[in-house]
Copies of this chain bind each other. A is one copy, B any other.
Amino acid sequence: MEPPAPQRRVTIVDVARHAQVSTTAVSKVLRNAYGASPEMRAKVRRAIDELGYRPNAAARGLRGQTYTIGVMLPDIRNPFFPEILDGITDHLAETDYQVFLGPGGCNDEKAEARVTDAMIDRGMDGIILIAPVSSRARLERIASAVPAVVVGRHGHSTVYDTVTDDDVAGAAMLVGHLVDLGHRRIAHIEHHETDPTRIAEMPNAQRADGYRHAMRSLGLAEEIDIVSTTYTQEGGYEGAKQLLARPRRPTAVFAGADIVAMGVLEALTEAGLSVPGDISVAGYDNTTFASFGPISLTSVDQAGHEIGGNAARLLLERIADRRKAPVQVKLSPTLVPRRTTAPPPA
């Protein structure tokens, strides 16, 4: 039994000694900084490899850079986030940055604050906030402490960039699709929202808005029928129950999110109604399960990968220049028609 190897980690000093140069020189090579000859670079790199040196992120952080980017996502369960994340990591793959996810509690401002504070404490170089529920003021506070990009919140800011999908257009496409199929009585299930800022900024509100506008512009103002519940399976179930109790039942239901559509489908099955024979159903987000054979849900696809890629790009730009003018990127969704929508019963 040898002593259990205290194993001091290799530091920049070890590398410098091994390569017979100064620590300054090693640091320059590490950061591709100016002032190191090709021979020096080669020599240092060899030493780094031989010793298996890896820079200590804490020490770097103390000096200003951690090469770490934080992504706050409020609910890992939301099957739409992975796409965004892939977009982010793909964009960052070639850089020295490492991505870490901070799990915000589901739609919980407190938890969100805890995570973002933790990211700032850890000196992360930049953070991406995905569909945050925090107040506008809070977002600005965060963004003034660290370069930030906000995904999925409509509404401008002077300190952070935003990337959103055009929810109004998406909702309109869906309504258009249903109308093309011959539907007129099209109902919508929305996520209930009271806070005025959020009504203006949150995607759910925008979808409801898009629904209203589309109905009106297609001459169906009379038929607008919105049920307010939540973006959950239960919310969909409840909403569908309410809609089924209407004297004139809708022939199509546009659920504000795929998960809501799942609840709707359950309620319809329970009521003995067939989809799409008796009633059409559509969701939003084109989540993984929407494509599963037994479900085959008509939905709207947000360009998740592109959203993530853009967010990462904007963040890098902002890290490079913290005072550049904020940018708003708005991407366009696409309709994905599947088997839950069909012409209404004759």
Contact = CB atoms under 8 A, between A and B. Distances in A.
A238 to B, nearest CB: 14
Nearest to A275: B294
Given A265-B292, A292-B266, A98 B81 contact: no
Contacts of A54: 117, 120-121
A77 interface: yes
Given A85-B103, A100-B100, A121 B57 contact: yes
Interface in A326-341: none
Contact of A77 (B103, B144, B288, B323): B288
Interface size class of A (residues with CB under 8 A): 35 or more
Interface in A72-108: 76-77, 79, 81-82, 85, 89, 98-103, 105
In the complex, the count of this chain's copies comes to 2
Contact of A82 (B5, B58, B60, B77): B77
B122 A57 contact: yes
A295 interface: yes
Interface of A: 4-5, 7, 54-62, 66, 68, 70, 76-77, 79, 81-82, 85, 89, 98-103, 105, 114-115, 117-118, 120-123, 144-145, 233, 262, 265-266, 269-270, 288-289, 292-295, 323
